[in-house]
Amino acid sequence: MTDRPGRRFGAWCAGLLLAGVSVVAGCRVADTDGITPVPQLLAFLPWLLVPAGVALLFSLLARWWPGLVWSVAVLGLLAWFSDPYGKLHEPDGPPLASFRVLTSNVEFGHGTPALVPLIRADKPDIVFVEECEYGCQATLRREFGAGYPYRQAVAAAGSHGSLILSRFPLRGTAGVRGTMGMPGAVADIRGHSVRLQLAHPMPPLPGQVALWHRELNRLRSFAASSPRTPTVLAGDFNASQDHAGFRHILDTGLSDAARLAGHDRTPTWPSRTASVIGAQIDHVLVTPDFSATRAGFPTLTNTDHRAVLVDLTLHSRTNASPH
């Protein structure tokens, strides 16, 4: 690319790539999710290193030195924001109880036949199931009615149904209001009360970004409403740590159990490409009362989400100051 027209073309290509990536990175810097298509692209923020790297190559070949500087700045910014977000809280008290949590979006119930053997094999103590419609709920009741005698559900068709299964006694709560079902409960885990809340806000589809933000804000309000109570907030958040709406939930003091177990960016969606490219939008969030020793991401057939399986330990709090 030594001729002048070729260099001009290279500079234009680099400029267009950098302009697009810079808008997304700028929204990340400004702590905002912006407007479509920014929220959709923010889910894949680390992967924007690829077009930024291509822009760097074009700038070099075109000898476009401002573009070279611009590319390096954008690459540095993206690398900075690829680090995990939020503080990690180490429990400061002795362990009280250990248990296993599973969350799975079964995509309109289609993944239910694959979820059944997963539950049998891994034996989670608490199961959060999103998009669990009437048929899904009937199947899980038939297969696990004795093993999981406690449940809290929103019975609905399609993506609106959701279910919490538990080996521990549950007391139902109002849950969080949303377009899709988000049931809640308080579990008695070996004599200790733990708030459970299923998360499934609307995705940030074009024309629905404001609704997505409202429902994420409701989950944030739930998380902030009782910071001294041990809490597990789990499900399909339709948001990654690169979305401002999700980071604001973490800012209440919650930590992502996957990150606690060393998997801060393991993709969960879309499952078909997650081994190559994807976003971590399914989460198990916990208050500082918990440690996590293991996290797994099983792939189920007939659903576009990986499940998330974590081993949690509840600790007593020896520090009386509020978080």
Q: What is the pLDDT of residues 136-195, one digit of tens each?
A: 999 999 999 999 999 999 999 999 999 999 999 999 999 999 999 999 999 999 999 999
Q: Cβ distance 284 to 234 under 8 Å?
A: yes
pLDDT range class, residue 319, cuts 50, 70, 90: low
pLDDT of 236 over the 90 cut: yes
pLDDT at 275: 83
- Provide, rounded to the nearest whole percent, the portion of the chain with pLDDT above 90: 92
- 64 and 124 in a single domain? The answer is no
| Each residue's pLDDT tens digit, 127-137 | 999 999 999 99
- 26 and 167 in a single domain? The answer is no
Q: What's the whole-number mean pLDDT along residues 268-272?
A: 96
d(CA 62, CA 72): 15
219 SS3 class: helix
pLDDT at 17: 97
pLDDT at 90: 81
- Give the number of other CB atoms < 10 A from CB of residue 323: 13
pLDDT of 322 over the 60 cut: no
Domain that holds residue 153: 95-315
pLDDT greater at residue 4 or residue 253: 253
Q: Cβ distance 268 to 282 under 8 Å?
A: yes
88 within domain boundaries: no
pLDDT at 320: 44
- Provide, rounded to the nearest whole percent, the portion of the chain with pLDDT above 70: 98
Q: What's the whole-number mean pLDDT along residues 13-35?
A: 97
105 within domain boundaries: yes
- Give the number of other CB atoms < 10 A from CB of residue 8: 13
pLDDT of 291 over the 70 cut: yes
On average, the pLDDT of the chain sits at 95
321 within domain boundaries: no
d(CA 143, CA 228): 36
pLDDT at 276: 87
Say how many domains are in the chain. Answer: 2
pLDDT of 28 over the 70 cut: yes
pLDDT of 2 over the 90 cut: no
pLDDT range class, residue 227, cuts 50, 70, 90: confident
Q: Cα separations (Å) of 34 from 26, 31, 65, 140, 302? A: 10, 9, 30, 39, 32
Q: What is the DSSP letter of 316?
A: -
322 within domain boundaries: no
Record the pTM.
0.94
Q: Which two tokens stand for residue 186?
A: 């308080």
Ranges assigned E (strand) in the chain: 95-105, 126-130, 150-154, 162-166, 170-173, 184-189, 192-199, 231-236, 255-256, 282-286, 290-296, 308-315
209 within domain boundaries: yes
pLDDT at 285: 98
Query: Which of 22, 46, 81 is at the close of a domain?
Result: 81
141 within domain boundaries: yes
| CATH code for position 301 | 3.60.10.10
pLDDT of 323 over the 50 cut: no
pLDDT range class, residue 87, cuts 50, 70, 90: confident
Residue closest to 216 by CA, chosen among 278, 154, 281: 281
33 within domain boundaries: yes
pLDDT of 318 over the 90 cut: no
pLDDT at 92: 85
202 within domain boundaries: yes
pLDDT at 88: 86
- 212 and 134 in a single domain? The answer is yes
- 59 and 121 in a single domain? The answer is no
pLDDT range class, residue 115, cuts 50, 70, 90: very high
